[in-house]
Amino acid sequence: PLEQILLILSHFRSGHSVIPSQGNVSLLLTNRVNFNIKYGCLILYCTPLMKVVNKADANFNNRIILDFHKNIKLLIVVNFLCVISILFFYTLFYYLLKLLGLNSSTDILFYIQAFDNLPSLNKYIFCVLILITAIIHELIHGLFFYIFTGDRPKIGFKSIYAYAGAPDWYIHKNKFFIISLSSLVIITILAIIILSVIPDSYFSIVFLLFTLNAGGSLGDIWVCIKLLNKPKDTYINDKGIVLSINY
């Protein structure tokens, strides 16, 4: 029957090994085939063997729990490394913009000094833009969670941290690489485009915003590094603040 053929085709295209427990054929076709063809086909066709597994069907022998909220030692280490990461990306982007012809300064501290000389109102606006950038960062993660699972992601704030997750899904590590690095890559590309067209008076604000975004992506980068030496069939369950690595 046509429905069975389309069901098999949807599995082939999306790389899903398990149908969501609450799903039926029409829901699967809507969320997997139609959405993937319109919006996610390039990403999903480039990763044909990657899978997501519904939580109800997951069965793993090994599990590593990363709780960024309750593990105080982990939280301190990640926050310390985050500061180092911001300094690293500040230096990296400074020389990248010089390479692209967008930076004529000879002083590496130029953007910090320029920001310090801004009117107070612009500094308040900068603080608001940090919050907006953090929200956009998590919305991009959420978009890729949705592309790969077809399920609405969980997005919110915990303490001072914004997060996005897919608590009902176990996602293959190769897809999770894409989800984790998506916000860093997309926002950095957008920032470079914006820097090429905005007036010089706003340059330091945008530069520092995308530097903070990149430095704040350390947690995403750190998880990706931890996944590099894990088995091929490793799946990640991301609840937002709590993340488990399963294989």
What pLDDT digit, counting tens, does each position of 140-199 carry? 999 999 999 999 999 998 877 789 999 999 999 999 999 999 999 999 999 999 999 998
Residue pair 215/79 in contact (Cβ under 8 Å)? The answer is: no
Q: Which pLDDT does position 164 carry in this prediction?
A: 94
pLDDT band at 230 (very low <50, low <70, confident <90, very high): very high
b (16+ CB within 10 A) / e for 154-187? bbeeeeebbbbbbebbbbbbebbbbbbbbbbebb
Is pLDDT of 136 > 70? yes
Q: What is the pTM of this model?
A: 0.77
Strand-pairing partners, residue 10, are: none
Taking the C-alpha atoms of residue 38 and residue 185, their distance in angstroms, rounded to an integer, is 22
Cα angle 206, 156, 211; round to 5? 20
Beta-carbon neighbour count of residue 131 at 10 Å? 11
Contacts of 71 (CB under 8 A, 6+ apart): none
Q: In which region does residue 150 sit, left (phi positive, over 0), alpha (psi from -120 to 50) or beta (all else)?
A: left
Question: What value does the mean pLDDT of the chain take?
Answer: 81
| pLDDT higher at 141 or 68 | 141
Q: Which of 241, 29, 237 is nearest to 150 (CA)?
A: 29
What is the predicted pLDDT for the residue at 106?
85
Q: Is 103 helix (H, G, I), strand (E, B) or coil?
A: coil
Residue 229's pLDDT is what?
Answer: 92
